[in-house]
Amino acid sequence: MAAMSKKSDFPAPVLITTSAGVASLCEKLRREPFVTVDTEFVREKTYWPRLCLVQLGGMEDVALIDACAPGIDLSPLAALLAEPDCVKVFHAARQDLEIFLHLFDTLPVNVFDTQVAAMVAGFGEQVGYDSLVSAMTGQAIDKSHRFSDWAARPLSKAQIAYASADVTHLRVIYGKLTRQLEEQGRLSWVKDELAALGEVSLFRPDPRGLWVKLKPRTNNRKVLAVLREVAAWREEAAQQEDMPRQRIIRDESLMEVAVARPHDAGSLARIRGVTGDFSRSELGRGLLAAVQRGEQCPENERPEPPARRRMERPKAPSGVLALLKVLLTARSEEGRVAARLVASSDELERLAQGETDLPVLRGWRAELFGQEAQALLRGEKVLFVSGGQLQVVDRS
């Protein structure tokens, strides 16, 4: 994140490098109503993020836990993150939560994400941390250490200041955001949005479903069956080797493997981007085995082409979709909530096609936009412009 460029009344940060220090701090913070949390990590050369620093801010404390300190026991941190009565405040929490899930095999509970809350409160789409700090604290931020090597030791004074400022800013932002959301009657909206962050499947997707992200341009279901298997194999190999998946084998080479379906090391080595050494290695043998599994997949279990699934779904008339987008923009601006949080483009398409099992037709989204959108689609409402403002009225 980023650090304050102006002095504050926050206490000086404490760098903790011992297990006893972690235990003492976390035991104290567990009894507080909330704690602000951030992490610094490196991931360029590994599959799993390597945790380097954990920043914690309490009512009186600002502390940095050196996760690289030899022999340091972080289990008290796991207990703090699992404390149900203490709110854990993050900004853009997903990467931090993934780190803690990998480290402790469980997700933190009672999480509050200020990025999500800010979108609900009317600060726009995917509000950046620096913009939120400026808007809510009036302070500028220093980005100079954003790309520090957090694994290098010792940490500089500037790095410590940078890292600690993240959790001190969050204390102010959390207090102001919760008060604003209470005034707007939208705290329950935020809780609905944050419920997904408690789902382990969000952070550990099924490897056999990752082939879709490669966006294959083929309707050949046998090729797709092989692609599904080799993509799952690569994900599992990357995890086991703790290596970025692209360093196992690149996307384009994986796609070519699925098309060519090599049966031996020699034919595998002829794939562009695959070396002879790789093809003869244990990884190469694992990849060939995945190809074989895909080829042996029964026809009725082969995946459907994503492009075909999209084609089979009738497209909504562009004019109808345009009207929904106009209404969504108007109601989002009026309600001061990010439009993307209310409904995605895909949801609008499905809504226009008459689908009803959609998030936009439940809870606060339905009240803000979904119910009115359905009335518009049924012809019960009309849109027009009067005095430069969009009006929505019952059809007479």
- Residue 326: CB partners within 8 Å, gap ≥ 6? 383, 390
Tokens for 88? 């854990």
* Helix, coil or strand: residue 350: helix
Catalytic residues: 38, 40, 96, 162, 166
Distance of CA 350 to the CA centre of its chain: 23
Q: Where are the alpha helices (DSSP H) in 85-140?
A: 94-104, 114-121, 129-137
Contact of 223 with 260, CB cutoff 8 Å: no
Distance, CA of 343 to CA of 221 (rounded, Å): 32
Contact of 22 with 74, CB cutoff 8 Å: yes
Distance, CA of 118 to CA of 113 (rounded, Å): 9
Radius of gyration of the chain (CA): 25
Contact of 74 with 82, CB cutoff 8 Å: no
Distance, CA of 233 to CA of 236 (rounded, Å): 5
DSSP state of 197: G
Distance, CA of 193 to CA of 340 (rounded, Å): 12
Helices (H) and strands (E) in the chain, counts: 19, 10
Q: How many CA atoms lie within 13 A of 211 on its CB side?
A: 27
The Cβ of residue 274 has, within 10 Å, a number of other Cβ atoms equal to 22
